[in-house]
Amino acid sequence: MRALKWTTTGLTLVFLVAPLLVIAIVSVNENRYMDFPPQGLSFEWYWALWTDLGWRSAILTSLTVASLGALVAVAIATPLAYVLRAYRIRLSPLLYALGILPFMLPPVISALGAQVFWNAADHAGRIENVIIAHGIFFSTLPLITISLAMETMDPALPEAAQTLGANPRTTFRTITLPLLVPSMITGYAAAFVLSLNEYIIAFLVAGFSVQTLPIKIFNGIRYGFTPTIASVAVVFIVIAATVFSLFAVFGNLLRFLGADPAILERNDA
């Protein structure tokens, strides 16, 4: 049993970390062409992220699409999640299914659908197409987080507000909405990150005129490689690792992932 534990954990760790190490090494390689062992140390590829206009533009495009797309996603999800949980709506399961359907299907389906839609509307190749498509596709994430928050909220809270004289609108504004804000932020963050990394929808909808970061990277891999791609990857990895480490130290990472809160005390005992 011990053997199983160590082999599984060890192999998995190597499996997960290996690509991260490789990409870190490649990103500081002096040579333009990848080789191993690395020839020299150079940070020029990181510098290129800042100076190269193509990379700057792709980063900006991706950030624009992600920040606005995630906003659309939350704007769609919030009223949907709230109304479906706070009121007795007859078609409620159907509407909820409509909300999660886009994300549950393979992305290429949403991508192709969006492409033919914007072509038919004679509005092809624009950045707002991508923003809307991402907003719809990723609206499932805030829908789930906000629905969960509604479900775990004490139903007596809005009732208490009402007994204190608040009509339904005031109750929503002063009590329900502030309590939903954390789940809205989590949903926004998830939609933002996923939009930043998304390829196929962005490509089919407006890939030849709007170049997001993943599109630029993929083109780079297909048609010509520079280690700048590696430096982008490393930046992503470092940001993610930092965010999660901070979360683990200052927040409650385990509870966030759904663990039993007492689990660490039990294990340490």
Partner 1 sequence: MSDRKPTHGTYAVLAVPVTMLVVFFLVPFGIMVASSFYHRVEGGFYTPAFELNSWRRLFTEVFIERAVFSIGISLLAGAVCIAVAFPFTFFLTRMKRRPHVALLVVVMSALSLSEVIVGFTWSVLLGRAAGISNILVWLGVMDEARAYQPGFVAVLLGLCYIAFPYCVLTLYPSLSRLDREVTEAAQTMGASPWRTFWTVVVPISRPIIVAGFLLVFVFTLGSYLISAILGRPEHWTLSVFISDQASFNANVPFAAAMAIFLTVLSLAVVGVVTVVESRTRRLT
Partner 2 sequence: MQERGGLRLQELVKRFGDLEAVAGVDLELPPGRLISFLGPSGCGKTTLLRMIAGLEQPTAGRVFLDGEDVTDRPPHSRDIGMVFQTLALFPHLSVSGNIGYGMKIRGVAQAEIRRRVDELLKMVSLEGTADRRVSQLSGGQRQRVATARALALEPRLFLLDEPLSALDANLREQLQVELRLLQQKLGITTIMVTHDQREAMTMSDLVVVMQAGRVEQVGLPLEVYRRPATAFVARFIGSTNLLETTGAGDGRVRLRDRDLAVPGADRSDGGLVLVSVRPEDARLHVGLGAVPNAIPGTVVFVRDLGELFECYVDCELREHVVVAGSPRERVPVDQGDAVQVEFPPDACVVVRA
| Binding interface with partner 2 (CB under 8 A) | 154, 156-157, 159-167, 170, 174-175, 178-179
Axis crossing angle, helix 92-104 with helix 140-152, rounded to the nearest 10: 140
Report yes or no: 254 and 264 within 8 Å, Cβ to Cβ: yes
Picked from partner 2, partner 1, none, the partner binding residue 170 (CB below 5 to 8 A depending on kind) is partner 2
Minimum gap (Å) between residue 62 Cβ and partner 1: 10
Q: Give the residue among 226, 199, 193 at the shortest CA–CA distance from 46.
A: 226
Binding flag, residue 86, partner 1 (CB under 8 A): yes
Q: What are phi and psi of 157, to 5 degrees?
A: -65, -50
Binding to partner 1 (CB under 8 A): which residues in 103-162? 104-117, 120, 132-133, 136, 139, 155, 158-159
Picked from partner 2, partner 1, none, the partner binding residue 142 (CB below 5 to 8 A depending on kind) is none
Distances, alpha carbon 42 to alpha carbons 31, 39, 108, 236, in Å: 9, 10, 39, 19
Picked from partner 1, partner 2, none, the partner binding residue 175 (CB below 5 to 8 A depending on kind) is partner 2
Q: Give the residue among 178, 106, 185 at the shortest CA–CA distance from 142.
A: 185
Q: Give the residue among 179, 168, 192 at the shortest CA–CA distance from 74.
A: 192
**CB-nearer residue toward partner 2: 145 or 231:** 145
Which residues, including other chains, have CB under 8 Å from residue 85's CB and lie 6 or more apart? Answer: 147, 150, 151
Minimum gap (Å) between residue 223 Cβ and partner 1: 13
Reduce the DSSP state of residue 122 to 3 states and report it.
coil
Binding flag, residue 95, partner 1 (CB under 8 A): yes
Minimum gap (Å) between residue 150 Cβ and partner 2: 15
**CB-nearer residue toward partner 2: 97 or 160:** 160
Picked from partner 1, partner 2, none, the partner binding residue 200 (CB below 5 to 8 A depending on kind) is partner 1
Q: How many residues bind partner 1 (CB under 8 A)?
A: 99
Encoded amino acid at 61, one letter: T
